[in-house]
Amino acid sequence: MLLKLFKSPQTLIIIFIPLIGILLWIRPFQAIETHPFPIYQMPLYSIFANVLDGSIIISNIFTFILLVLQAFLLNSINSKYGLISKRSYLPALIFILLSSSINEIKYFQPVIMANFFIIFSLIQIFDTYKIEKVFSNFFNSGFLISVASLFYFNSIYFIVIVWIGLLIIRDFNFREWIITFIGIITPYFIAFAIYFVFDDINIFLINIQKNLAFEKTMIQYNQYDIAFFSYVVLITVISIFYLITIFNTQKISTRHYYLTFIFFICLIIVLFVLSPSASAELIYTISIPLTFILSNYLLNSTSLLFTEIIFTLLVASIGFLQFLS
């Protein structure tokens, strides 16, 4: 059975994950026409965009490599913090499947680069559990979110999840929050200084303004897309309810981490609804918390047949979408 295969902790599974990703990215790899990069680019994203703008193939290969690296980074986080009791490479596969589900956004998106910094920011917060006076972690978490926003501006809102994580994982300490805020403003202070030296501050401010208010590009979703998203919502709800039923059996630290992930999902949904510039590209970021919540259910549930059906339908529906859009 499909899920049983990918539940296996055998190292051989590592080979299958990028191969499945390649299958999902076949169409972007064969693309002739390039996707237009955002007009109003944040400074760090523009550096990469200027280099990759000349070749759609190289751009898409680079994007795919980034996603594979993120998939295995999430898998290492699972091992480090013991989020899922069973050792498996399933989290990496789930991330690849979810993040590669929408054909229309398979190109070098600023949010993909931002993802790395968001993930590392979460690591900084998770590392503070039951450790006192780790002020560098609080500075780093704010700093990393701020750097992420210099790729994809909407990432700045994810500082909320850092603060929520602090509230969940630690007792309230005003100094920790102040240090986090200092971390947030530091990259922008550096950016403003650089733009000031080159007399380009207006360009920087205009880019920020446009990234705040720029109307999102609406993808025309068909009935198959809607059915797929509805299915993902359904299995997410099932996975969260399962998590609630086993909550008291989890270590306190694990409960805190999963609560942070649930709030992370809620924040992304709110951002998608309320921000005029947030669109389908957020699938890349929401795949981070979904990876752990879905994997936890699929790996630990005793309903083996049901989870096998759920996983098989997820894989089949994503594969089906690749030929319809």
Predicted pLDDT of residue 256:
93
Local structure of residue 245 (DSSP, 8 states): H
Please report the pLDDT score of residue 133 as a whole number: 74
**pLDDT for the residue numbered 235:** 97
DSSP line for 142-205: HHHHHHHHTTSGGGGGGHHHHHHHHHHHS---HHHHHHHHHHHHHHHHHHHHHHHHTT-HHHHH
pLDDT digits (tens, 9 = 90+) for 98-141: 999 988 888 899 999 999 999 999 999 999 887 777 789 999 99
Whole-model pTM: value is: 0.93
Q: Any idea where the domains of the chain sit in the sequence?
A: 2-324
pLDDT for the residue numbered 171: 81
Whole-number average pLDDT of the chain: 90
Residue 180, pLDDT > 80, answer yes
Interval 223-233 mean pLDDT? 91
The separation between CA 100 and the C-alpha centre of its own chain, rounded to angstroms, equals 12
69-102: burial string, b at 16+ Cβ within 10 Å, e else: ebbbbbbebbeebebbeeebbbbbbbbbbbbbbb
Rounded Cα–Cα distance for residues 145 and 272 (Å):
18
Tell me how long the chain is: 325
Q: Measured between alpha carbons, how far is 193 from 189 in angstroms, rounded to an integer?
A: 6
Whether the Cβ atoms of residue 180 and residue 139 lie closer than 8 Å to each other: yes
- What percentage of the chain carries pLDDT values higher than 70? 96
Q: How far apart are CA 291 and CA 157, in angstroms?
A: 21
Report DSSP state, residue 105. G
DSSP secondary structure code for residue 250 in this structure: S
Which of 149, 164, 161, 154 has its CA nearest to residue 275? 154
Q: Is the pLDDT of residue 214 over 80?
A: no
Confidence of residue 199 (pLDDT cuts 50, 70, 90): confident
Q: Which of 51-55, 144-148, 218-222, 235-239 has the lowest mean pLDDT?
A: 218-222
pLDDT digits (tens, 9 = 90+) for 240-292: 999 999 988 889 889 999 999 999 999 999 999 888 888 889 999 999 999 99
Place of tokens 């650089």: 194
Q: Which CA distances in Å does 20 have to 100, 115, 205, 257, 286?
A: 10, 21, 41, 29, 20
Q: Of 70-74, 81-85, 283-287, where does mean pLDDT reach its minimum? A: 81-85
pLDDT confidence band for 325 (50 / 70 / 90): low
- Whether residue 21 is predicted with pLDDT greater than 90 in this model: the reply is yes
Residue 216 has pLDDT above 90, yes or no: no
Note the helical H segments in 10-54.
Answer: 13-24, 26-29, 43-52
The Cα 71–Cα 69 span in angstroms is: 5
The angle formed by the CA atoms of residues 199, 205 and 211, to the nearest 5 degrees, is 140
Contacts of 189 (CB under 8 A, 6+ apart): none
Predicted pLDDT at 142: 96
Banded model confidence at residue 217, pLDDT cuts 50, 70, 90: low
Per residue in 43-65, pLDDT (tens digit) is 999 999 888 876 788 889 999 99
